[in-house]
């Protein structure tokens, strides 16, 4: 079990990250016409108008919340006078709100994709896989809130932060920090890392374009001249 834990939380993060980055680059280079969200709005608009915004607001909030919460060094929070318990409470509330928005939107999108005959016929296995994978990851994350409520001292939260920071700084002892973390957190981490591994093979690649759209803010105006 120690070898498995070391592999999943000490080696697998780099495998998933390599697949995420290299896979995205290869797909952009070789299959640019597949680099899109493949919208099915023209097939059926039901539940999309509400479900899509809820899902995207929730998932973006969760992504940036995890990014800031896990990668901000502990000493920064200590310097600001924010106790570990207070930070955990904020993470639980914010995660619960954004997670609930994301869950409602995701369930609507999943019901639409599987419930409408035209959309279902147009959907690929990868489309269904990514929605189910997101749902499982999200449910594990929401379940971890209840696990966190049983220990409000912030100890497990600090363990998770230390693990993430040691992973991104390429230190080999990362897995040891979460060896005693509750199973629900470990499963959530594994599902989240695996999401990056399947990312390049699904329509999720359009996320790159979303972030790339920020560059339009610095572009010069397009001049359109009439004849």
56 is in an annotated binding site: yes
Q: Angle, nearest 10°, between helix axes 84-115 and 155-168?
A: 70
Give dist(CA 87, CA 92) in Å, integer: 9
Phi, psi (deg, nearest 5) at residue 125: -60, -40
For tokens 């493949």, name the residue.
Answer: 38
For tokens 């199973």, name the residue.
Answer: 183
Q: Which helix H or strand E contains 28, and what residues bound it?
A: helix 12-30
Q: Is 83 left (phi over 0), alpha (psi -120 to 50) or beta?
A: beta
155 is in an annotated binding site: no
Q: Which helix H or strand E contains 183, and what residues bound it?
A: helix 183-198
Binding residues, by number, are 56, 66, 188, 206
Q: Which residues are annotated as a binding site for heme b?
A: 56, 66, 188, 206
């Amino acid at each position: 079990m120690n070898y498995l834990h070391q592999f999943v939380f000490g080696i697998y993060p780099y495998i998933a990250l390599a697949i995420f980055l290299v896979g995205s680059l290869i797909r952009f280079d070789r299959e640019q016409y597949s680099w899109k969200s493949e919208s099915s709005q023209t097939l059926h608009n039901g539940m999309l108008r509400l479900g899509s915004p809820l899902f995207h607001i929730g998932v973006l909030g969760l992504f940036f919340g995890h990014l800031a919460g896990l990668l901000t060094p502990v000493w920064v929070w200590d310097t600001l006078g924010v106790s570990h318990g207070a930070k955990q409470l904020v993470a639980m509330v914010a995660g619960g709100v954004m997670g609930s928005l994301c869950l409602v939107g995701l369930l609507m999108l999943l019901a639409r994709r599987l419930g409408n005959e035209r959309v279902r016929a147009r959907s690929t296995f990868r489309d269904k896989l990514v929605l189910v994978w997101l749902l499982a990851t999200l449910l594990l994350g929401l379940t971890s809130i209840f696990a966190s409520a049983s220990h409000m001292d912030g100890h497990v939260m600090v363990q998770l932060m230390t693990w993430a920071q040691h992973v991104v700084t390429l230190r080999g002892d990362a897995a040891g920090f979460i060896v005693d973390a509750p199973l629900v957190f470990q499963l959530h981490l594994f599902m989240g890392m695996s999401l990056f591994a399947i990312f390049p093979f699904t329509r999720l690649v359009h996320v790159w374009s979303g972030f790339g759209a920020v560059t339009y803010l610095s572009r010069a105006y397009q001049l359109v001249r009439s004849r």
